[in-house]
């Protein structure tokens, strides 16, 4: 661990023009230290601020000059005090000179470590670089930067510059900015440098990698194009999710007097057999692994398994190249790998570069079969896409994404939006409103991309580490609400929304969204209904209005106006099984009332609708009894009164008996019997 | 960071915070495979796998067999029944003619698929004629209606279980598009009507009936003759129903596979476009890694499953902890404690819904912006389609998880430690590479055409063990490269040209040089190890049983010097040394 100790000097601009973002700088830097305290406790850190009125650094005392630069903290192993220091950065009164600050920082590193620890020494500059640096005594500013950069390279130092621009530094002199940018870019020619431009407080928080992960190769070996053509490559992870830290469990059982208590909790697993009443713990050597195969569990010992399991050979093989359009973006399965040519191997780098560029030109991708390590039990099939480096210091490389196997894909069928009836299709105005929304809510206008993943910190992690720091001081502190900068990640930019108010208004106008009365039902039931294609529900829109998302009004009685709807609503009230019974009973009464009060059959149509609803309800509830009873009753009624039109109406709607109870034969012939034979 | 061999099968999304990805396993499916066994199914053939003609019956049966095998793997809680109709023999609870429910021992008619079912069903064709027999059940002059009976039997089988917890389906395989064709007017009309009513009643009970028609080469299966009414197709649906797709066995299998997936909504989520404007979406997990089922621990004596009990024990006092304990993170030399609710609060950064932040052009979506499989979203109700904006392609949208700054690494930037620029390929080299790429170009690649060889092997082994078979069938690794194709002269020539253009004549030296470098380093290490190994009188130490007094490092020196594995615990190392010495 110790050999990877990083030695970092933070160079922070605290001049007046930076005051607007200093609170973010404080958060960023304290987060850096907080994470170091957990993940790399032995790293060393120094803090230099520039733009202060006073000057306090070695160089100013030794050689003079280097004004307005204060060493806030000499290089030391990270500790809690550093967090406190960084959380209260002084506000400077003068415009600072970042180049002087760089020299001071270098001086600190050189004095402390001589030329040891090459590659572990790092400077991190946070400035807006909108103020001119002082002219040098000899040579141009470029020469001066060049000399410094060469020295830096010789000492094995790296520098990372975070330049705060855009909205955060509006009225700056463009000429000066360009000059400074040019000067900073000289560093990248000579040394390993990262220059980052950020323009929102949110992206500032994400600009600095607050946790250093030592890169580890996943694979070193040959990328096999064909048995005769192999290229040496190393494979790294390009993305890997930084997980929420796993917290340990805390035991409060130990008495408070016990000062040596570890408060640790041990998780123990016991395997017990469950034969009848007696339970006994089975020792590990008596356990055997089993896999489910249908209802069976197949026991298999590790040794047996080793003998028969799938054992692929280590290696990465190209299966073929194909058109990039064949691979859909959403098929990417996992985090991403990076393939680079073996470092220092010029020929391999050239080969990778040639293939990457050829692939780019042809819009092709390669399909690979990878076995990263010997003894790995599966293979990975994935797609290799070219990454043409924009920076001429960095060689071309590939990205590799894992693709799904046939077993991993569930091909659900969805109706195409285009095949929906015209009434469901957006009309021209709606389409226009939607198009406008897409256009206006552009997060990447003219190349300035907002919320770039590279600069967007994970709000959950930010919040956790901040709260951790707070809790270390105040154990009872409540979790504070999400602050403004982090809110920008989870909510739409209020400014953008305000600017485009008219677009949203148009959207509101054109899309009348209705509340969904069926929301209370379980989704499964709802789906079933949809599938069976019940047309009785056309009236309901699924879309909900988020604000007025109230449960539907409770129906307690079937009214005269909309008996069918009332019945359905009642049937779907799941809070009490009595509703179903009540609904069926009431609808039955309603139907009979309709028949009796019908004048020359004018209400038959309505009655038939009710019968249809009742039949459906009874089938769903698997209670055919009440329905069949009613039908018998209706038949009797019709026969007595000699009504012919109603049975015909019912028969035409296929409203026969439900055939669970009665034989199908009886159900079929129900109305046939009833229809008076024409010849009789 | 590195792939753990045990881990490769584990689903990374398996943590509890991630209910987003949790599949609801509570829902299961009851399926009845209804296979027509009429003589017509045996008489007509279609082009099979290797250009040999195969009977329709064979096609249907192998489809079902394939489907059963997938089911036992991926959804073993589903219950199935296999039912033939138009058979000579009858076997069903209702004792109806012409319907035969196929089953094996130790299994209910509608039950979870077992290894034995699969095994016996695999060889059903051999014994079919002898034991079940084929006979068309609908003949003029009798009131028998085998299709009607089959639907009845299937519906009766599916009476089990509540519709609220299970999907019930009948999958009907037939090549007869006009089952009542031989009948006269009145009888035909009556039969048609009763059969349709039977089907409709089943559908009213929540059973969906799906048709998998088989077409003859000379005449297509005409859905509209009869079956359109039975399965409730009309208008546009009818036009989209493509019976011709199932001319071949592979197509049929494919069709069945697609239908076997019932859509399972992972989660219903609200998509808020603007304040006061939101739509309900359903999310679906279309692509998720399939893993072999979890390990069940068994008692090796009785082969009974064991119950796992997890208990929390305080390390200081040994007391059992009942309530969910507080959590802590060591920080600044002390333990900062959190209540579980506080952790939940920290993680809750927004209400559980999707919010539209804005739009970006597709070019902003870099290839490396990926962490997990995507999730598919589709409006949860089709009544209101709110958008067909420029970036939303029917029939839905895919959600791709973007990484945060903390998740992205810049490993490609770590190496330029020289002042020189990184080497770039020149035009000629690129041309040669392009020529090589053209040679190994695959035109019709599909992203998921390969079966996972590890899984295939896993289940082949399990099936063999479950049926107590002696030899385990070989599985084919579909992912193996086409060695033969890659050694075609044209490919080799292109490869040589590219090799020459990049490596000059030194390709072979290059690869040798690397080896030498490596071996030099390892030789050095070995030499050191050997020297160190001489420092101890190993034999003497071993005799006196003093090996355990050495450190693991020292023991490894010996192992290294003798080319032995250095992994394992100290005891393992010692025993390995002793074995090596022959003691």
| Bridging pattern class, strands A296-299 and A287-293 | antiparallel
Same domain, A591 and A505: no
Check if B480 contacts A (Cβ < 8 Å): yes
Single out the residue in A187, A207, A227 at which a domain terminates: A207
Q: Find chain B residues with C-beta within 8 A of A273's C-beta.
A: 299, 302, 304, 306-307
Same domain, A580 and A465: no
Same domain, A154 and A40: yes
- What pLDDT shows up at residue A400? 92
Give residue-wise pLDDT tens across range B366-417: 888 888 888 888 776 544 333 333 333 336 778 888 888 888 887 766 655 5
Out of A5-14, B115-124, B526-535, least confident range = B526-535
- Does residue B473 have a pLDDT over 60? yes
CATH number at residue A494: 1.10.1600.10
How far is the C-alpha of A75 from the C-alpha of B446, rounded, in Å?
A: 56
The H or E element that residue B150 is part of is: helix B146-157
ipTM above 0.85, yes or no: no
Single out the residue in A162, A185, A207 at which a domain terminates: A207
**pLDDT top residue among B534 and B338:** B338
- Does residue A676 have a pLDDT over 50? no
Nearest CA in chain B to A665: B194
CB contact under 8 A, A288 and B112: no
- At B466, list the tokens: 């479950």
Give residue-wise pLDDT tens across range A493-513: 777 788 878 878 877 777 765
CB contact under 8 A, B74 and A367: no
Nearest Cβ partner for B313 among A266, A305, A620: A266
Residue range B299-317: mean pLDDT, rounded: 79
Nearest Cβ partner for B454 among A310, A401, A545: A310
Nearest Cβ partner for B356 among A228, A289, A492: A492
- What pLDDT shows up at residue A331? 85
How many Cα neighbours within 13 Å face the side chain of B473?
Answer: 10
Cβ–Cβ under 8 Å, residues B177 and B213? yes
Check if B163 contacts A (Cβ < 8 Å): yes
Nearest Cβ partner for B306 among A272, A300, A540: A272
Same domain, A29 and A149: yes
Task: Return the closest-CA partner of residue A222 out of A330, A136, A348.
Answer: A348
Sheet holding B397-399, edge to edge: B354-355, B265-274, B277-284, B375-379, B397-399
CATH number at residue A19: 3.40.50.410
Triad A589, A594, A597: Cα angle to 5°:
120
* Residue A46 forms part of a structural domain: yes
* Residue A288 forms part of a structural domain: no
Out of A338-342, A455-459, B223-227, least confident range = B223-227
Give residue-wise pLDDT tens across range B501-555: 888 766 655 554 444 444 455 666 666 656 665 667 777 777 777 777 778 877 8
Residue range A245-266: mean pLDDT, rounded: 76
- Does residue A172 have a pLDDT over 80? no
How far is the C-alpha of B253 from the C-alpha of B249, rounded, in Å?
A: 6
Same domain, A16 and A163: yes
* Residue A592 forms part of a structural domain: yes
Residue range B74-87: mean pLDDT, rounded: 82
Same domain, A51 and A186: yes
Check if A315 contacts B (Cβ < 8 Å): no
Same domain, A169 and A97: yes
CB contact under 8 A, A293 and B459: yes
CATH numbers and ranges of domains, chain B: 26-260 (3.40.50.410), 264-293+337-409 (2.40.290), 427-503 (1.10.1600.10), 520-581 (no CATH)
Nearest Cβ partner for A414 among B300, B378, B406: B378
How far apart, in Å, are the Cα atoms of B176 and each of A482, B172, B189?
A: 66, 11, 17
What percentage of residues in chain B have a pLDDT greater than 70? Answer: 74
Mean of per-residue pLDDT scores for chain B: 73
Q: Count of A–B CB contacts within 8 Å? A: 736
Same domain, A504 and A567: no
Out of A2-16, A259-273, A452-466, B2-16, least confident range = B2-16
- What pLDDT shows up at residue B524? 65
Task: Please state the domain count of chain A.
Answer: 3
What percentage of residues in chain A have a pLDDT greater than 70? Answer: 81
Residues spanned by the domain of A623 = 563-669
**pLDDT top residue among A471 and B45:** A471
How far is the C-alpha of A213 from the C-alpha of A236, rounded, in Å?
A: 12
CB contact under 8 A, B76 and A361: no
Looking at chain B from residue 394 to 433, which residues have their Cβ under 8 Å from any Cβ of chain A? 394-396, 398, 400, 402-417, 419, 421-425, 429-433
Looking at chain A from residue 437 to 456, which residues have their Cβ under 8 Å from any Cβ of chain B? 437-439, 441-444, 449-451, 453-456
Looking at chain A from residue 613 to 672, which residues have their Cβ under 8 Å from any Cβ of chain B? 615-616, 619-620, 622, 654, 656, 658-659, 664, 667-668
Q: How confident is the model at residue A1 (pLDDT cuts 50, 70, 90)?
A: very low
Same domain, A90 and A199: yes
How far is the C-alpha of B464 from the C-alpha of B472, rounded, in Å?
A: 6
Same domain, A105 and A196: yes
Strongest mean pLDDT among A363-372, A536-545, B177-186, B566-575: A363-372
Residue range A537-546: mean pLDDT, rounded: 30
Single out the residue in A175, A207, A239 at which a domain terminates: A207
- Does residue A183 have a pLDDT over 60? yes
* Residue A658 forms part of a structural domain: yes
* Residue A270 forms part of a structural domain: no
Q: Which of A361, A367, A410, A622 to mutate to test the interface with B (most CBs of B within 10 A)?
A: A410
CB contact under 8 A, B1 and A237: yes
* Residue A65 forms part of a structural domain: yes
Same domain, A582 and A504: no
- At B32, list the tokens: 């009845």
CB contact under 8 A, B376 and A357: no
* Residue A338 forms part of a structural domain: no
Q: Is B328 helix (H, G, I), strand (E, B) or coil?
A: strand
How far is the C-alpha of B9 from the C-alpha of B298, rounded, in Å?
A: 21
Residue range B91-108: mean pLDDT, rounded: 81
- What pLDDT shows up at residue A521? 35
CB contact under 8 A, A449 and B364: yes
Check if A510 contacts B (Cβ < 8 Å): no
- What pLDDT shows up at residue A269? 82
- What pLDDT shows up at residue A7? 86
Nearest Cβ partner for A333 among B204, B287, B440: B287
Q: Find chain B residues with C-beta within 8 A of A461's C-beta.
A: 404, 406
Same domain, A485 and A616: no
Q: How confident is the model at residue A337 (pLDDT cuts 50, 70, 90)?
A: very high
* Residue A229 forms part of a structural domain: no
Q: Find chain A residues with C-beta within 8 A of B514's C-beta.
A: 232, 342, 345
Instruction: Give all strands (DSSP E) within B256-349, no chain letters.
Output: 265-274, 277-284, 295-299, 306-314, 320-321, 326-331, 334-338
- Does residue A527 have a pLDDT over 60? no
Give residue-wise pLDDT tens across range B403-439: 888 888 877 666 555 556 677 888 888 888 888 888 8
């Amino acid at each position: 661990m110790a050999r990877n100790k990083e030695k970092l000097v933070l160079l922070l601009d605290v001049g007046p023009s930076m005051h607007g973002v200093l609170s973010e700088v404080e958060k960023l830097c304290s987060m850096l230290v907080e994470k170091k305290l957990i993940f790399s406790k032995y790293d060393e850190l120094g803090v230099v601020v520039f733009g202060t009125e006073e000057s306090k650094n070695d160089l100013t005392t030794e050689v003079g000059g280097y004004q307005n630069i204060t060493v806030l903290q000499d290089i030391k192993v990270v500790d809690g005090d550093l967090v406190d220091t960084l959380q209260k950065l002084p506000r400077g009164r003068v415009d600072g000179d970042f180049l002087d600050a760089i020299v001071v920082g270098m001086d600190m590193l050189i004095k402390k470590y001589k030329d040891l620890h090459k590659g572990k020494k790092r400077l991190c500059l946070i400035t807006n670089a909108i103020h001119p640096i002082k002219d040098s005594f000899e040579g141009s500013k470029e020469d001066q930067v060049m000399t410094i950069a060469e020295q830096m390279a010789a000492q094995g130092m790296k520098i990372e510059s975070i330049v705060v621009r855009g909205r955060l530094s509006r009225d700056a002199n463009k000429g000066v900015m360009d000059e400074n940018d040019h000067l900073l870019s000289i560093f990248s020619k000579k040394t390993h440098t990262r220059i980052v431009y950020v323009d929102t407080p949110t992206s500032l928080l994400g600009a600095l990698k607050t946790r250093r992960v030592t890169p580890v190769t996943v694979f070193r070996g040959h990328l096999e194009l064909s048995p005769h053509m192999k290229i040496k490559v190393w494979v790294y992870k390009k993305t890997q999710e930084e997980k929420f830290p796993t917290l340990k469990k805390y035991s409060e059982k130990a008495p408070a007097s016990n000062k040596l208590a570890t408060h640790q909790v041990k998780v123990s697993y016991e395997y017990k057999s469950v034969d009848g009443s007696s339970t006994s713990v089975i020792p590990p050597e008596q356990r055997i692994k089993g896999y489910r195969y249908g209802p069976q569990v197949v026991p298999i010992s590790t040794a047996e398994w080793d003998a028969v399991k799938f054992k692929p050979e280590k290696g990465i093989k190209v299966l073929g190249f194909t058109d990039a359009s064949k691979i859909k973006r959403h098929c990417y399965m996992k985090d991403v790998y990076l393939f680079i040519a073996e470092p220092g191997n010029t020929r391999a780098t050239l080969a990778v570069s040639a293939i990457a560029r050829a692939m780019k030109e042809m819009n092709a991708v390669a399909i690979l079969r990878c076995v990263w390590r010997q003894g790995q039990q599966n293979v990975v099939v994935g797609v290799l896409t070219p990454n043409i480096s924009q920076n001429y210091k960095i060689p071309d490389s590939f990205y590799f994404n894992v693709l799904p196997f046939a077993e991993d894909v569930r091909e659900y069928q969805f109706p195409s939006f285009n095949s929906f009836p015209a009434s469901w299709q957006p009309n021209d105005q709606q389409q226009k409103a939607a198009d406008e929304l897409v256009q206006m809510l552009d997060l990447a206008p003219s190349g300035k991309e907002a919320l770039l993943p590279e600069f967007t910190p994970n709000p959950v992690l930010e919040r956790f580490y901040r709260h951790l720091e707070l809790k270390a001081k105040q154990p009872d502190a409540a979790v504070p609400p999400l602050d403004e900068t982090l809110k920008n990640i989870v909510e739409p930019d209020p400014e953008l929304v305000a600017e485009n108010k008219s677009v949203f208004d148009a959207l509101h106008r054109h899309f009348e969204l209705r509340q969904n009365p069926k929301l209370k039902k379980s989704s499964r039931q709802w789906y079933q209904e949809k599938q069976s294609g019940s047309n009785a529900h056309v009236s309901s829109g699924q879309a909900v209005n988020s604000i007025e998302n109230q449960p539907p009004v409770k129906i307690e009685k079937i009214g005269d106006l909309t008996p069918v709807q009332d019945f359905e609503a009642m049937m779907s009230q799941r809070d009490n099984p009595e509703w179903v019974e009540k609904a069926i009973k009431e609808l039955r009464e309603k139907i009979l009332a309709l028949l009796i009060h019908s004048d020359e059959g004018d209400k038959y149509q309505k009655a038939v609708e009710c019968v249809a609803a009742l039949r459906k309800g009874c089938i769903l509830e698997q209670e055919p009894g009440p329905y069949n009873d009613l039908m018998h009753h209706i038949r009797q009624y019709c026969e007595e009164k000699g009504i012919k039109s109603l049975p015909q109406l019912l028969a035409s709607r296929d409203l026969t008996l439900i055939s669970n109870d009665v034989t199908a034969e009886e159900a079929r012939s129900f109305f046939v019997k009833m229809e008076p034979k024409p010849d009789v | 960071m590195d792939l753990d061999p045990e881990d490769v099968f584990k689903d990374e999304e398996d943590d509890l915070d991630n209910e987003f990805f949790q599949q609801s396993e509570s829902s299961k499916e009851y399926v009845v495979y209804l296979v027509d066994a009429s003589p017509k199914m045996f008489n007509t053939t279609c082009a099979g796998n290797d250009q040999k003609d195969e009977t329709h019956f064979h096609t249907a049966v192998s489809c079902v067999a394939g489907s059963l095998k997938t089911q036992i793997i991926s959804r073993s809680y589903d219950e199935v029944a296999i039912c033939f109709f138009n058979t000579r023999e009858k076997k069903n609870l209702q004792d109806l003619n012409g319907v035969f429910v196929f089953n094996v021992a130790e299994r209910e008619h509608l039950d979870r698929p077992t290894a034995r079912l699969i095994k016996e069903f695999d060889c059903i064709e051999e014994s079919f004629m002898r034991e079940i027999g084929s006979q068309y059940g609908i003949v003029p002059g009798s009131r028998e209606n085998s299709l009607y009976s089959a639907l009845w039997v299937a519906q009766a089988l599916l009476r089990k279980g509540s519709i609220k917890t299970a999907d019930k389906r009948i999958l009907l395989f037939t090549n007869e598009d006009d089952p009542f064709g031989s009948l006269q007017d009145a009888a035909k009309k009556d039969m048609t009507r009763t059969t349709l009513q039977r089907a409709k009643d089943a559908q009213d009970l929540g059973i969906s009936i799906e048709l998998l028609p088989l077409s003859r080469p000379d005449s297509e299966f005409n859905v509209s003759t009869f079956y359109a009414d039975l399965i409730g197709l009309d208008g546009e649906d009818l036009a989209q129903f493509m019976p011709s797709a199932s001319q071949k066995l592979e197509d049929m299998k494919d069709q069945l596979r697609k239908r076997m997936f019932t859509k399972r909504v992972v989660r219903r989520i609200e998509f808020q476009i603007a304040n006061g404007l939101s739509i309900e979406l359903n999310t679906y997990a279309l692509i998720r890694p399939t893993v072999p089922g979890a390990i069940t621990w068994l008692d090796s004596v009785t082969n009974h499953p064991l119950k796992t009990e997890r208990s929390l024990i305080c390390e200081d006092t040994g007391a059992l902890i009942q309530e969910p304990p507080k959590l802590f993170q060591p920080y600044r030399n002390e333990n900062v404690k959190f209540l579980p609710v506080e952790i939940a609060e920290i993680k809750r950064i927004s209400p559980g819904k999707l919010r539209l932040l804005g739009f970006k052009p597709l070019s902003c979506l870099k290839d490396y912006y990926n962490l997990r499989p995507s999730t598919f979203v589709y409006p949860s109700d089709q009544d209101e389609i709110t958008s067909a904006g420029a970036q939303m392609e029917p029939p839905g949208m895919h959600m791709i998880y973007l990484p945060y700054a903390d998740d992205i690494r810049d490993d490609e930037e770590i190496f330029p430690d020289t002042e020189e620029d990184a080497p770039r390929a020149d035009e000629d080299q690129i041309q040669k590479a392009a020529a090589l790429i053209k040679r190994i170009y695959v035109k019709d690649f599909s992203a998921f055409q390969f079966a996972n060889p590890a899984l295939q092997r896993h289940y082949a082994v399990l099936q063999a063990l479950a049926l107590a078979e002696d030899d385990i069938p070989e599985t084919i690794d579909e992912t193996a490269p086409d060695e033969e194709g890659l050694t075609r002269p044209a490919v080799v020539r292109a490869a040589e040209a590219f090799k020459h253009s990049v490596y000059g004549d030194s390709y072979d030296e290059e690869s040798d040089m690397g080896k030498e470098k490596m071996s030099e380093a390892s030789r050095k290490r070995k030499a050191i190890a050997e020297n160190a190994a001489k420092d101890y009188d190993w034999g003497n130490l071993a005799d006196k049983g003093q090996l355990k007094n050495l450190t693991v490092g020292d023991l490894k020196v010996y192992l290294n010097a003798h080319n032995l594995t250095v992994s394992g615990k100290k005891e393992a190392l010692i025993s390995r040394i002793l074995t090596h010495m022959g003691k």
